[in-house]
Chain A
Amino acid sequence: MNEQELGILSEIARQIRIMIIQMIGRSASGHPGGSLSAVEILTWLYFREMNVDPQNPALPGRDRFVLSKGHAAPVLYATLAQRGFFPAELLLTLRQADSRLQGHPHRLDTPGVEASTGSLGQGLSMAAGMALGLRLSQNPARVYALIGDGESQEGQIWEAAMTAGFRQLAGLCVFLDYNDLQIDGRVSDIKDIRPLREKWESFRWRVHEIDGHDFGEIAAALTEFRRENEKPTLIVARTVKGKGVSFMENNVNFHGQAPNAQEVATALAELNHGR
């Protein structure tokens, strides 16, 4: 990846981070940590990988994205706005009573949202269902999903993993946002989900392990995914919860807690300084 391309993508990611802080700050509730950890993944998906048309969000041939870890709604909303699915002003209405931006994604409220998610584990099954439905229609569109590491403690994740592996859903690509933090502490302390590669490979998935903040590694893994024609793909993306805001990084308190006014100002100053 050349410097210019990296510069373009980094700037989009920076703008998305600013929007995340602004929208959660304004609503005074929401999940910053797990939104910030997935910024590069969503940036690459919506700006380089997926075939989507913001002017025609329901085109049959579009690629689909399912945010299975629905609490990261702010990163999805900010990315959709940045990509042009709806005006960025809408972001500042997040979680308000008359807003089209629900606390967790709601398909029927927000353009570009493919599935309502929030109760963990269900999004992966829905994504696999989309891949099955598209294959039945001989529609070559691909399905992408983002699951959490804490979410991987849900039994339904493994039911869906078994289905997708057994059914050879090669058009399904799942990112695991592996920041190792969940509400009550470290994932590895509460119910460790490792080993990941061995688990998913034994469920008949192709597994790649990358730095989830490195656009080059994201791109390379997705190139492998598009070449795959037998197995669904899991990309274990090692990430930093709260990435990009120093006092939020690896701080479990910012899983589901909004920054106060001072913290918003500090965060925005950092993000603007990083320009």
Chain B
Amino acid sequence: MAVESLRGAYGKTLLKLGRENPDLVVLDADLAKSTQTQFFAKEFAGRFIDMGLSEQDMISTAAGIALTGKTVFASSFCVFLVGRVFDQIRQSVCYNRANVKLVGTHAGLGVGEDGATHQSLEDIALARVLPEIRVIVPADAVETALAVEYAAATPGPFFIRLTRNNLQTFFDSGHQFVMGRAPLLRDGSDLTLVAMGAMVEKAMQAAEILAAVGISAAVINFSSLKPMDEEILLRFAGKTGRILTIEDHSVHGGLGSACAEFLSQQHPVRMKIMGMDNQFGRSGKPDDLYAHFKLTAADIAAAGKEMLSRP
């Protein structure tokens, strides 16, 4: 099972795009070595601006540069790229409809040992409520590269949420990213697991566990979060009657909320939302934290079984 770095894919794609587009500008806030904007920085020193530890200034500056006709990527850890600068994203980027692509890394509990201060569990909720911005949560390195290319080629604000850790690769190089379409990774008839980011591979493992006890679980990679794939949700809500969402994020305002907002109005079905419920993360190895907060494949499978045990 191949695992690859999403951040690495971001860095390599930026470099490729930088060679193709002389109007691509990249900003970072003293984390270029972590977010992997460093490759672009090395080759295009003139078009890379390290803003230092000034995230508010970085976001509004990105908007200003974009308003002169540039395509601007700005990166930091999700916790600093979204939560810390929510108002700058709202007013400088979205209200101006500036051509700014926010690519945040180190999302969620997967940050691990750095603990709660660095574990962004709110960024999807914050980004999703803003007009103009599109939100993508890639599940692997291939999808990351495609999402970054799509964002670069599409005018307007984007937020792309990446993990610190390497993740299993699901897609081959022929995969096509379509905004607003959620790839079905596994078909099923009893239950649908809807996952994003680091939780996709755990959902796939959970589907295996469930299959062993005779439960057929579909798995959807809900990478295109806004706009979202309403069609596939409707289809699988109708087909399986049970939707279980899993996210390395708060259960309030994220993936589960997005699905519930839609399904409750269009096709109410039994739902369960797994994620972080009104609590901060803590320090630990990522897998230990997923166990601590009950977000392992086994926990997902148990929740799926529980949903099926009720009429």
Contacts and interface: CB of A to CB of B under 8 A. Distances in A.
Interface of A: 60, 66, 106-108, 114-119, 121-123, 125-134, 136-137, 139, 155-156, 159-160, 162-163, 167
A93 to B, nearest CB: 20
Contacts of B23: 137
A156 B57 contact: yes
Interface string B58-101: 01111111111110000000000000000110111001110000
B88 A122 contact: yes
Contacts of B68: 129-130, 133-134, 136-137, 139
Interface of B: 23, 25, 46-47, 49, 51-52, 54, 56-57, 59-70, 87-88, 90-92, 95-97
Given A122-B88, A122-B92, A163-B51, A130 B57 contact: no
A120 B188 CA distance: 52
A122 B100 CA distance: 15
Contacts of A114: 67
A107 B87 CA distance: 17
Contacts of B87: 119, 122
A126 B95 contact: no
A114 to B, nearest CB: 7
B60 A160 contact: yes
B57 A163 contact: yes
Contacts of B88: 122, 125, 156
Contacts of A119: 87, 90-91
B69 A60 contact: yes
Report the 8 A-B pairs with minimum CB-CB distance, sorted nearest first.
Answer: A129-B64, A133-B68, A125-B60, A159-B57, A126-B64, A129-B61, A133-B65, A159-B54
Contacts of B49: 132, 167
Contacts of A122: 56, 60, 87-88, 91-92
Given A108-B97, A118-B91, A162 B63 contact: no
A128 B64 contact: yes
A132 B49 CA distance: 10
B60 A133 contact: no
Given A119-B91, A156-B57, A129 B96 contact: no
B64 A125 contact: yes
Nearest to A133: B68
B62, B70, B95 interface centre (most CB from chain A within 10 Å): B95
A133 B70 contact: yes
Contacts of A117: 91
Nearest to B70: A133
7 contacts: A116-B96, A132-B49, A156-B88, A160-B60, A160-B61, A162-B57, A163-B61
A163 to B, nearest CB: 6
A132 B91 contact: no
A159 B66 contact: no
Contacts of B54: 159, 162-163
A265 B226 CA distance: 51
Contact of A155 (B56, B60, B92): B56
A126, A132, A136 interface centre (most CB from chain B within 10 Å): A126
Contacts of B63: 115, 125-126, 129
Given A125-B92, A136-B70, A115 B64 contact: yes
B90, B91, B97 interface centre (most CB from chain A within 10 Å): B91
A169 to B, nearest CB: 11
A183 to B, nearest CB: 19
A116 B91 contact: yes
Contacts of B46: 136
A133 B91 contact: no
B92 A126 contact: yes
Contacts of A121: 56, 60
A125 B56 contact: yes
B65 A129 contact: yes
A108 B93 CA distance: 12
A56 B121 CA distance: 46
B67 A132 contact: no
Nearest to B55: A159
A136 B25 contact: yes
A132 B26 CA distance: 12
A127 B47 CA distance: 18
A163 B25 CA distance: 16
B80 to A, nearest CB: 13
Given A129-B62, A132-B65, A133-B67, A116 B95 contact: yes
Contacts of B97: 107-108
A137 B47 CA distance: 10
B67 A126 contact: yes
Contacts of A156: 56-57, 60, 88
